[in-house]
Structures are given as C-alpha cells and as structure tokens.
Chains A and B, each alone.
Chain A
Amino acid sequence: MMMIHRWRRSGEFVRSACKSLSSLRPEHNSMSPPVSGFVNRYESKGKTFQSNAWNDHNRELDLGRNLGMMQQYKSFGSSSASKVQRNPLFSSLEPKDVSYFKEILGDKHVIEDEERLETANTDWMHKYRGSSKLMLLPKNTEEVSQILKYCDSRSLAVVPQGGNTGLVGGSVPVFDEVIINVGLMNKVLSFDEVSGVLVCEAGCILENLATFLDTKGFVMPLDLGAKGSCHIGGNVSTNAGGLRLIRYGSLHGTVLGLEAVTANGNVLDMLGTLRKDNTGYDLKHLFIGSEGSLGIVTKVSILTQPKMSSVNLAFIACKDFLSCQKLLVEAKRNLGEILSAFEFLDNNSMDLVLNHLDGVRNPVSSSENFYILIETTGSGETYDREKLEAFLLKSLEQGLVSDGVIAQDINQASSFWRIREGITEALQKAGACYKYDLSLPVEEIYNIVNDLRGRLGDLANVMGYGHLGDGLIEPYVYEWTSKHRGSISAEHGLGVMKANEIFYSKSPETVALMVSIKKLLDPKGILNPYKVLPHSFFSP
C-alpha cells in the first residue's frame, strides 16, 4: 500500500540468521501447503534446508542459513518446488517454438546459452532460481506482440523481465517459463523541455534516464538503490517507491501514460502525455503495480520535475524511535516544501554496513540507536541551508536529536547516502535474510522490531530501516501487520514470495475481483504465473 498517509509510516526490517537452522527447528511436515505459508528451500552441499516462514499452525519463525556457512557457497532455492506445482496446462518448449522466435527476432536475440540463462533465471537476492531454457530479447513493441500472440496460442508461460532487481522473486521464472527481457528497448522517444514529460521505452535503465534528464535540468520523480540496473518498465510494473516518494509521490501520480501488450498480443496504446485526461476508465493504473501479470509494459510516459540545484543532506542520530517520529513531524512542519527525503536506519543496520562495505564510516562520532537522513531540495542555496540548520539546531536544543552532521559538499552527501543505500548490498554479503517491507501506523512501526528481537533473542539479527517519511518497514510479521491494519508489502510487491499472503492485507471480495480481471486479460494465465495472486485460484 503505497499511500502517503500521515498516520502510516514504514521501514524495512531484516532478519539475518546467525545460528544453524538444524539446531532449532522442530519436526516439520514440508509437504503441507498452508495457504498462508511460504516455503523457501536452500540447497547446500547435499543437505537440504527447508524453512517455512509463516505457518498458521505453529507460528514458528524459521530462519535462514548459518552465517558462517554462507561464505562458502551461495544458496538459492525455488519456492515452488515443494508447494506450487507446475501448471500442466502450460506447454513445454519445442524446437519449432525456438525456430519461430528466431524467425521473428533473429538468431542473436534468442538466447539458449546456459550461462546467460543462469543469470536470467536467478533473482538479485539469490533466493529464487527458475529453470527456463529460453530468453527472448525483443527490440520493439511489434516483436513483443508477436511473441505473446504466439505464446498465448501455444499456451507457453512467460516471465516479463527488466533489470531483474526485484526483491520478491517476481522477475525470474518459477519453472520453465520463457523469459522476455525488454533490455534492448532502451530508447528515449521524446522529451518536452517545457512540460517535463518524458516518453521512453520500457527497457531504459533508471540511472541512464536520470543522466539524460540532468543535461536538460530535470530529475526523475523516483530514485532507488537499484537505479544502475533497474528498468523504468519494471519500476512501473512494480509501482516502485524509493527514496524520493515523500517529495514526488508515487508512480500512480507521475506516470501519465503507458503502452502495454496483453497476453494475446494486443497492443494497448495508453501513451498519453497529458496531465489531465478524464476520458473513460483510466486503465493504465491496472498495469502500474500488477508486476507483469496483466501485460508487458513497452513504453512509458512520465512527468519529470525541474532539477533544483540546492540540495542539502544531514545525517542525524536519535536516541529512540519516538524521537525519530517526532522529528519527522517537525521536519514536515519546518522544512515543508523543501523536504525531499527522510530515511531511517537503526544501529544494527549501521553496524552491518560498516562491517561489510568498504570505505564507509559513521558520519556521527558516537554510536546511537537510530540514524536519520534528512534531505532538502530547493532553489535557494543559502536560504535552504539556513532553514535546515535552524531546524536541526532547534531539534538539538529540544533533545529530539542527540548529534548530527551536515554534508558540506556532494562527496560527503554521497557517502551519507551510501550508508542507507548500501544496506541491501551489505545484507546480501552478510548471509541469508528475510526481508519484509511493510507499512504500519506510525506508533506501531518500531514495536514490531522490538517484539521480534524479544522473540528471537540470539538467533537472529533483527534490524529496521527504511523510508520513514512515507512509512515502509518489513517481518512475524504478516500476522502482526494484519492485526494492526498495515500492509504486508508496502513497496516491493507480492511477486512469488508473497503470492499467497495477499489476504493479510486485502479482503476476499477485492481479491476475487482481481482474479476476475486477471482471467479477463489473460485467460490462459501465461503472464508471470504463480505470482501476485494466490495459487489456489489458478491451479487446474
């Protein structure tokens, strides 16, 4: 639920295991497929670990792998193997299919090479691996349409793929689905320097778009740690939030139009560039955030913002979470229109980053419980900095802030951001982890971390971090979240990881309507199967 709601805040919690799984697991029936359960299987040196995260019956939290062992080998598993069965109604790939694709795309753009497929089959977190034997690289919308028309007629399941930086296993095959990667569709089609409307193909990398816009004096309305690899098409399909949501709002507001291809190859041209257009149902919203399950986004029209030169960044230390919340309220009140980011991380996250990343140091000299990043973006350099300084000094006097530094140049600012943006990277290096992105009412937000810490004790390292400004925080989580009327996926989407968990956040009636829409647009269910919506609705 990407809502900028003043009562909802969010952050990410991560648990990483530090004790061997086998020493603490009770006997477990791995074959039982609870609707609300989710199985993540890790394979290592012949032994198979199974961890069942959410089990209605025993409320046990299973942990990832022993940190020490992580260094020796990577682990990944397919969530589907023991719980979701491959839909027998999907055909298997045949040589005639490969020939057909080669005919319409050219030999070079039909990938059967094992090495390249291995990368495309594995997600960024190395948690999920599919077994697709074919990846297709269309160069334009027409080719995407031809591919899908054929796959639909042949009942071949497909996975739309962009930068493959998703965190919920939504961008890789579960079984042998054909991968359709839009990476070659990376052209900027037009840019209006007066209105700031950018029209581009779905395969454009976010950072490249940002660089292009920079030369024109504009910025993209979203920014995330994965910007060097993620595609705008993927961002739109997952309704990515990111660091700047607090300032620019969500993609539902900034995307003015898009072009998508549905399962039967139909090209839907909804590529408007108008801010206001009330003609009929606004269908683009269906595709934004549908994670590729309703259609493949091929072009995007997005509203960009003028670049403002005065950017200031402060790195603050706070004693407790209550101070963090109060600081947020004060920041919105005092910094108002120039506030552009408000991120938080806790002590454990800081330690993790300091331990696993090079060339990173804690900007604040003392170790504190919570750290906040406050960024302002405006047009008046001196005025903005004075405003920020005045606000922070007042907060210091009031005791909301215990210490802090203000970046004096862009290099210092980058190093502060490195700490916050590097958490995900550091987690990967640290070992297996369960990442949860939830949104919860402000008051509750850190309670869940403390709660989890109490439960898990030494077993795992629980840390919290995230976009405090718009409320994103992640674990035991689904129950807890549901009870407190939060969302189990504030930002990252459902993917395959939470496909069966939607009921924690949405009523049965709404889910039923979602299923109807899916079946209307994709009767055979070939687009990104086994994801987003509960499996039970689609198993034959």
Chain B
Amino acid sequence: MKILVAVKRVVDYAVKIRVKPDKTGVDTQNVKMSMNPFCEIALEEALRIKEAGFAKEVVAVSIGPSQCVDTLRTGLAMGADRGIHVEASYSFLPLTIAKILKSLADVENPGLIFLGKQAIDDDCNQTGQMVAALLGWPQATFASKVVVLDKDKQSATVDREVDEGLETLSVDLPAVITTDLRLNQPRYATLPNIMKAKSKPIKKMTLEDLKVDIKSDIEIVEVTEPPKRKSGVIVSSVDELIYKLKNEAHVV
C-alpha cells in the first residue's frame, strides 16, 4: 500500500509575524519557513505505519513555489521514499489544493492520504475534508491516537479528538486521515537519513499535467492585525468607577 502525505511550507511556528503595510498578507520576506507542524505529525504517522509493515511506500507532496523543495527534502530526511513537487507560483486556498490532491490520488492510487488537520498560516482545517469528499472516500479527522490498520478487513481504527472528548471510528481504506497534535512526536532528521535523502527523487509536476482548474471563487480582500489590547485603567474612587461603567462601558 502507498501512503500519500501532503506537506505545506509555512512561516515557522515560533516566528513573530507582521502584516505587510499594504495589507495584502503577512510579511514572509527574510522570515524562517518550515514544514507545518501538523504535516510533520502526519508524515511521522505515515512513516510509523510503513515501519510497522502495513505500507510499502510513503510519498510526500508539496504544492507551491520552488522553495517547497526544501520542505520536501525535510520530509525525505525524515524517511519518506520520494517526493512530488507541484509547481505553483502562489499559494492556493484549500479547495484548489484539494482538487490537486484528488488528481494526484487518481495518478498514484494511494491506500491512505495523510494531512495535518490545519495549516498554521491560514488555520482553515478544510483541505483534508474536501479531498475526501472529492474522492468519495471516508475521512477521519483530528486523529489523536495510533491508527490501527487491519490488513484483512482493509480498514483503519482512528481515535478522533472532538469537542465532547474522544470518538473512535473505523474507516474502510482507501481513506483520508488528518492529524492532530497529540498523535505523535515527529522524529528529527538524522545525518544518515539526510545523506540518504539526497538520492531520493523529487518529481516535478505542473498544474497542466494534473489538469486542475485553479480558478478560485474566493478573493482575499484585506489582511489586518487584530486590534491591540487596550491597557486597563486604575480608577481612584467608587464614584469614578460607576461613572465609567455608566457612561463609557455602557453596562450599567
């Protein structure tokens, strides 16, 4: 069985981001970029499944500009067998990504598609679900516990973290699984693996190859910072407090 893992190149989690002065987006110049943490977890899970003997190959795919190859190299250094880079000049919204992944799935025929539950730059939490819908496959999102595969029954058991607690699902393969924080702790990229990664192939594909319509129905109008928290005010007397509550906060 083949496992396809989608990994996204995002602004590093620890960076303090700033909005561009023209409000078209977040400033990504000279800012450290890394693999989306949830995607790391997804890749780690796929690797563990392969090491347990349930899968033959783990393929990492990334969609975006040429620097995505760095992210794929990280994936290969962690242990993925090969990478696919879908060339795109700007970042796409989830529906377009989902369409691209569907096309790829039609070509590669994986038994499982792993994604992070959301990307930390847009927090959409949509791509996994959309891919499953487009493919007509079952989905198990926010996976938080070991995915147990059953070879004979060709199904997987997944614990999901939901608002009310934990939910255990059984999904037939092929399926889409999105990963949550508590699923695993991703491995580090070791030197021997980095060395091996240099000889692993990264295939370049274009949107034309995949015959995907990238027209989006969504346009980002403006990106702004949330309003700064106003500092508190110390009042000098109860009367002043009542005055403020009445006339400024309008709550009395």
Contact = CB atoms under 8 A, between A and B. Distances in A.
A381 B188 CA distance: 19
B38 to A, nearest CB: 12
A309 B30 contact: yes
A363 B188 CA distance: 7
Nearest to A379: B30
Contacts of A311: 32
Contact of B191 (A381, A392, A408, A414): A392
A482 to B, nearest CB: 40
A219 to B, nearest CB: 13
B192 A408 contact: no
A448 B202 CA distance: 50
B195 A393 contact: yes
Nearest to B69: A382
Interface string B183-223: 00000111110110000000000000000000000000000
Interface stretch (B9-17, B127-135, B139-147): B9-17
B31 interface: yes
Interface string A353-368: 0000000000111000
Contacts of B189: 405-406, 408
A411 interface: yes
A407 B194 CA distance: 12
B41 to A, nearest CB: 12
A311 B77 CA distance: 18
A388 to B, nearest CB: 10
A138 interface: no
Interface stretch (A229-237, A262-270, A325-333, A396-404): A396-404
A406 B14 CA distance: 17
Contacts, number: 67
A409 B35 contact: yes
A408 B188 contact: yes
A309 B31 contact: yes
Interface in A301-334: 309-311, 315-316
B34 A393 contact: no
A407 B195 CA distance: 15
A393 B32 contact: no
Nearest to A309: B30
A365 B187 CA distance: 10
Contact of B195 (A365, A396, A414): A396
Contacts of A381: 32-33, 70
Contact of B194 (A309, A406, A412): A406
B74 interface: yes
Given A382-B70, A393-B194, A410 B34 contact: yes
B190 A365 contact: yes
Contacts of A401: 191
Interface string B6-50: 000000111110000000000000111111010010000000000
Contact of A411 (B37, B77, B190): B37
Contact of A405 (B67, B191, B195): B191
A214 interface: yes
A414 B32 CA distance: 14
Contact of B13 (A389, A396, A410): A410
A403 B195 CA distance: 12
Contacts of A410: 12-15, 32, 34
Nearest to B75: A408
B31 A404 contact: no
Contacts of B31: 309
A414 B14 contact: yes
A393 B191 contact: yes
A385 B74 CA distance: 11
Contacts of B40: 408
A403 B74 contact: no
Interface string A323-354: 00000000000000000000000000000000
Contacts of B67: 382
B192 A396 contact: yes
A27 B71 CA distance: 65
Contacts of B191: 316, 392-393, 396, 401, 403-406
Given A393-B195, A409-B12, A409-B34, 16 more contacts: A364-B190, A381-B32, A381-B70, A382-B70, A385-B70, A393-B191, A396-B192, A401-B191, A404-B190, A404-B191, A405-B189, A405-B191, A406-B191, A408-B189, A410-B13, A410-B34
8 contacts: A364-B190, A405-B190, A408-B34, A408-B77, A408-B189, A409-B13, A409-B37, A411-B13
Q: Which 9 residue pairs are nearest across A and B when measured between Cβ atoms?
A: A409-B34, A410-B14, A405-B188, A309-B30, A404-B191, A410-B12, A408-B74, A405-B190, A396-B191
